[in-house]
Structure 1
Amino acid sequence: MTSEGESEDEGEGARGPWWRDAVCYEIHPRSFADSDGDGIGDLPGATDRLPYVRDLGVDAVWLTPFYPSPLADAGYDIADHTDVAPDLGTLADFDAFAARAHALGLKVLVDLVPNHTSDAHSWFREALAAPAGSAARDRYLFRPGRGVRGEEPPNDWRSAFGGPAWTRTGDGEWYMHLHAPEQPDLDWHHPEVVADFERILRFWLDHGVDGFRVDVAHALFKHPALPDAGPGQHEDPARNHLMPYYDREELHPLYRSWHTLLADHPAGPPGAAPPGERLLVAEAAVFDPARLARYVRPDEMGQSFNFAFLECPWQPAAIRAVVEESVAAMTAVGAPVTWVLSSHDAVRPVTRYGGGPAGARRARAAALLMLALPGTAYVYQGEELGLPQVELADDRLRDPVWRRSGGTERGRDGCRVPLPWEGGQPPYGFSSAAPTDCWFPQPEGWAGLTADAERGDPASTLELYRAALRLRRSGSPRAVADGGALRLLSPPGASYLAFDRGDGLVCAVNFGPDPLPLSDAFETTEVVLASGPSTDGGRLPADTAVWLRR
């Protein structure tokens, strides 16, 4: 990244793999589209709605888990990593989804969940049936307890969902789970675990998958001695890498081996990405930019989610720091920054940025900021509609965070409410089931937020996303992908953030409270796209973003 006034040789530069400047759309299948009227979204429903995703202007889709699961954690507790949950369809339905996506020009990513399995997985059932100390338990982390009778957990590790990270079995041993008790952690020092996930990767490549989002990519390996972690666990993300179960060095040889596997595995079905074009994405909760960049060195993964950006407050200095540090760290290893505003795990931006009209304005401005930044971006279903977080009734909450926190934390279900497609009442075209029979109930008052209502309305959030993605795709590929071309135009301490991404397109975001005169700041008022009214005497209102042509 350069400062105003510096120049840089653009060169010819190849665009590189498709994923270096891609925008990916996240589909949470059970809440996307229901084809059979049971109130649960499924793969055939998602296949039917793929033209909507294509028309949005993205490059790829990411499916969150659709595998067989008891659903203790929204499908991230997987009982069989190479099959499809019966309520979501069949393996043939997945093949049809992938084929349709490829025919529409969309790549397909799926979740790989290697840190843990479901407690219903055949390996764990075998482990529980075997006596303490048996080889069947070695694939997981079983240990004797502390105390005179082993009545205390083996160490002080805490679950990310609340409570201890250990559960005692009937024979007195304990097993570890960094998440829910129904999600026992695998022991990644065990060769059978390593070999099985290589099998899983090859299986889905053969079924047309173009890449994998690796869940909890920072936590697979734990310190072999399982030492106490001390106080403050899961409280300060900046200290995650200091925990004996996060961000360990053993991860990187594993990811290099997966990089090689994806590069060497034979070509899949027609339309699938060829060897050398496949993608690994790290869901790594690592907030130090330099440490995060290690996951995307040239021989490891291609992308790593930038959670520092997602969790950054609506403040110009904080967002500027995240942008500068992220671009510098990723440029140093030749990787794109991967920007995210929301996901199935995060409070929706409209609500996170304050709710109501102010939250909606800021979410729209943040969208233009994200899509102008160099690198890659992820859009979570409904983000493009401007959906707010939903406050669900206590008896409809499913998230294990709600239960394990003793009802003090509501969890993530409010961002997983089914999409509104059309009509004036729930279920808004999501399903033919009764609203009360749907996976999660939708609120009244969403008639104006349906995809059908927003389509063609130039003031809608949907059309803002479509316009931004269309302009992004027509811009310079190098400028979109390469953080080194970014030039900051706003001075430190300013109440706005502005940058030239390298092709003459300027993005400016006014964090307020006073209107920003565009001509004084940028010597231009040629507006290409704005997140809200922006031409009041050439002044940019508060909580508004604009793309300008210099």
Structure 2
Amino acid sequence: MTTHAQETSAADWWRQAVVYQVYPRSFADSDGDGIGDLQGIISRVPYLTSLGIDAVWLSPFYPSALADGGYDVDDYRDVDPRLGTLADFDELVGTLHEHGIKLIVDIVPNHSSDRHEWFKEALAAPKHSPERDRYIFREGDGDQPPSDWDSVFGGSAWAQIHDGQWYLHLFAAEQPDLNWDNDEVREDFLKTLRFWSDRGVDGFRVDVAHALKKDLTEPLPSKTTLPRQSESNGVHPLWDRDDVHDIYVEWRKVLNEYDPPRSAVAEAFVPAARRARYASAAGLGQAFNFDLLQADWDFDRFRQVIKENLALADQNGSSSTWVFSNHDVVRHATRYGLPKDPDGAWQDGKAWLLSNGTEPTVDVEQGLRRARAAVLLMLALPGSAYLYQGEELGLQEVGELPAANLQDPAYFRSKGAEKGRDGCRVPLPWTVGGLSFGFGSGGSHLLQPKWFGGYSVEAQEGDPDSTLSLYRKALAVRRGLQTGEGLEWVEGVEWALHFRRPGGWQSITNFGAAPIELPEGAVVLSSAPLEGEKLPADTTAWLI
């Protein structure tokens, strides 16, 4: 099959872009306070340029109490003073653009911080006031909340305030949900989109895009009678409602006011068939596809996911996205080294990290080998590829963080049942040694393990066989080969995922346990050394 072919232009640069996610507090620290900042990112733009990426996705940098890693936003149109200033942000935009790199920023519309001016006004205002109507306040039954719904992070999804009313928070209590039936809320976010677009931002990643619209018609249903989100088809009271797309039609009109139009990508954990509306041209334009991220290293599953998502992209005229790691899941170099679990417990990306600090044995060598094969496979596919900071170093998850150093609300609200996401957010190692392996002069906000130095940029710079070198080579070769968005499957060898792209270049991945014969053509890149004329297990090769 082929996907929706379209030549790259200024307006659709995102269709086959390689986007690198920067989690700013853990990327580079310029002032020695242990927290990464905007000037730290600016200092590393030459490194980003050397990778060959097309865009940076910048996770939240807004003022925040960090109740949820910056996804609790105090002010949507400012920079956290610990990270810099608006002038620093403008400098970052300009520096990236000078190096030919676009900038996508996170926007968090489902909830604000409880320190946001609006929420402070809501707490000070009486019941049923316009100030409270910006959020979702309800009466409970005495000391009982309006419903028995659970927060994503554990515990009740409702918190009670001084006058007895309760407010809804699908995530942490410090993240009150906004009321998207309120016109003031809708207009203010349009203002925010224009604010950052006017400063040169090229696109937006929309956090929890499927949760904005809610049906709170009373009586509220019990959690035992709620439909499964994956089967609700738009009628769940909290998730993936059909009317959420009315919001994104408004957003698209604003994004199209700019030349070129600003891009947007939805983070929407919805069934594949429901993802198309988020990715429509009248809506956000693209939506994250997390199917490979959730898949075990398995030939049949990879092939099924790729075929389904290319077909969906072809139907709605968008391009697919591919991702293996981000700030919310265990790094895939570790996931691929875990023992295969028939119950799929590893697939949520975090369940293996138990609260007592133990975990299954990780085969580090196998995990890295498969991660290297996976990235070549991903970069050969039509669509955009999202990389998470540190994966180009082959970084493993940091599973040994002590409880006293953990920051993720999932750990605290689950009372230690989940260790949380801190293990993938540990600050990057830039040098072999030093107080924080080159991250900054004052240590790091999450403890780095002793073994980090061996994965550092400095340790890999001069090694042509390092994972960093593989990423650089792959992105450079891809840039020269990538043209249209077509893909032709090549059948033949069992356990080999083999396809041909426009221009005749090929990608083949061996998911089997034994080496296989390579197809005809000249090998331009492989994720591991070849065995003569054969492709080893857990290896991808590109041929022309």
- The TM-score with structure 2 as length reference comes to 0.91
Find the residue that maps to 2:56 and give its secondary structure. strand
Letter in 2 for 1:193: V
2:238 maps to 1:245: yes
Q: Which residue of 2 aligns with 1:440?
A: 446
Q: Deviations over 1:204-254 (max 9, x none)?
A: 112111111111001100114164263498987566966321111112121
- Relative to structure 1, is the Cα distance of residues 229 and 538 closer, same or farther in structure 2, using a 3 angstrom cutoff? farther
Pairwise CA distance, 1:179: 0.4
Which of 401, 413, 420 does residue 411 from structure 1 map onto?
420
Find the residue that maps to 1:135 and give its secondary structure. coil
2:515 maps to 1:532: no
- Relative to structure 1, is the Cα distance of residues 249 and 97 closer, same or farther in structure 2, using a 3 angstrom cutoff? same
- Relative to structure 1, is the Cα distance of residues 546 and 43 closer, same or farther in structure 2, using a 3 angstrom cutoff? same
Aligned pairs, how many? 516
Which of 66, 69, 72 does residue 71 from structure 1 map onto?
66
- 8 Å CA contact 1:44–1:93 kept in 2: the answer is yes
- 8 Å CA contact 2:52–2:476 kept in 1: the answer is yes
Q: Deviations over 1:115-148 (max 9, x none)?
A: 00000001111111122222211010000114xx
Pairwise CA distance, 1:322: 0.6
Which of 51, 66, 70 does residue 46 from structure 2 map onto?
51
- Aligned mates of 2:321, 2:529 — CA distance in 1: 29
- Aligned mates of 2:7, 2:85 — CA distance in 1: 43
Q: Deviations over 1:95-120 (max 9, x none)?
A: 11111111111111111100000000
- Aligned mates of 1:444, 1:472 — CA distance in 2: 34
Identity across matched positions, percent: 51
- Aligned mates of 2:372, 2:457 — CA distance in 1: 16
- Relative to structure 1, is the Cα distance of residues 306 and 445 closer, same or farther in structure 2, using a 3 angstrom cutoff? same
Letter in 2 for 1:422: T
Q: Which residue of 1 aligns with 2:408?
A: 399
- Aligned mates of 2:457, 2:167 — CA distance in 1: 45
Pairwise CA distance, 1:525: 5.2
Q: Deviations over 1:359-408 (max 9, x none)?
A: 01011111111111100011111011100000211111000000011101
- Aligned mates of 2:505, 2:103 — CA distance in 1: 30
Q: Which residue of 1 aligns with 2:210?
A: 218
Q: Which residue of 2 aligns with 1:260?
A: 253
- 8 Å CA contact 1:316–1:494 kept in 2: the answer is no
Find the residue that maps to 1:529 and give its secondary structure. strand
Letter in 1 for 2:462: G
Q: Between 227-236 and 198-207, report the one with greater CA deviation.
A: 227-236
- Aligned mates of 2:222, 2:475 — CA distance in 1: 44
Q: Which residue of 2 aligns with 1:137?
A: 132
- Aligned mates of 2:450, 2:174 — CA distance in 1: 34
2:387 maps to 1:379: yes
2:310 maps to 1:318: no
Q: Which residue of 1 aligns with 2:345?
A: none
Pairwise CA distance, 1:280: 0.8
Which of 456, 462, 476 does residue 456 from structure 1 map onto?
462
The unaligned stretches of length 5 or more in structure 2 are 338-361
Letter in 1 for 2:329: A
- 8 Å CA contact 1:24–1:60 kept in 2: the answer is yes
Q: Deviations over 1:471-498 (max 9, x none)?
A: 11111421xxx2xx2112246x942311
- 8 Å CA contact 1:307–1:340 kept in 2: the answer is yes
Q: Deviations over 1:59-105 (max 9, x none)?
A: 11111111101110000000111111111011111111111111111
- Aligned mates of 1:263, 1:57 — CA distance in 2: 28
Q: Which residue of 2 aligns with 1:271?
A: none
- Aligned mates of 2:193, 2:41 — CA distance in 1: 23
Q: Where do 1:95-494 residues align within 5 Å? A: 95-146=90-141, 149=142, 151-225=143-217, 227-228=220-221, 230-231=223-224, 243-265=236-258, 275-286=259-270, 288-354=271-337, 355=362, 356-391=364-399, 392-433=401-442, 435=443, 438-478=444-484, 482=485, 485-490=486-491, 494=494
Letter in 2 for 1:517: E
Letter in 1 for 2:73: I
- Relative to structure 1, is the Cα distance of residues 320 and 19 closer, same or farther in structure 2, using a 3 angstrom cutoff? same
- Relative to structure 1, is the Cα distance of residues 236 and 548 closer, same or farther in structure 2, using a 3 angstrom cutoff? farther
- The TM-score with structure 1 as length reference comes to 0.90
- Aligned mates of 1:119, 1:133 — CA distance in 2: 18
Find the residue that maps to 1:367 and give its secondary structure. helix
- 8 Å CA contact 1:21–1:477 kept in 2: the answer is no
Find the residue that maps to 1:138 and give its secondary structure. helix
Pairwise CA distance, 1:456: 3.2
Q: Between 507-516 and 227-236, report the one with greater CA deviation.
A: 227-236
- 8 Å CA contact 2:487–2:502 kept in 1: the answer is yes
- 8 Å CA contact 1:240–1:246 kept in 2: the answer is no
- 8 Å CA contact 1:529–1:547 kept in 2: the answer is yes
- Aligned mates of 1:25, 1:547 — CA distance in 2: 22
- Relative to structure 1, is the Cα distance of residues 371 and 229 closer, same or farther in structure 2, using a 3 angstrom cutoff? farther
Find the residue that maps to 1:344 and give its secondary structure. coil
- Relative to structure 1, is the Cα distance of residues 514 and 192 closer, same or farther in structure 2, using a 3 angstrom cutoff? same
- Relative to structure 1, is the Cα distance of residues 191 and 165 closer, same or farther in structure 2, using a 3 angstrom cutoff? same
Report runs of 4+ in structure 1 exceeding 6 Å deviation: 232-236
Letter in 2 for 1:530: S
Find the residue that maps to 2:281 and give its secondary structure. coil
- Relative to structure 1, is the Cα distance of residues 231 and 276 closer, same or farther in structure 2, using a 3 angstrom cutoff? farther
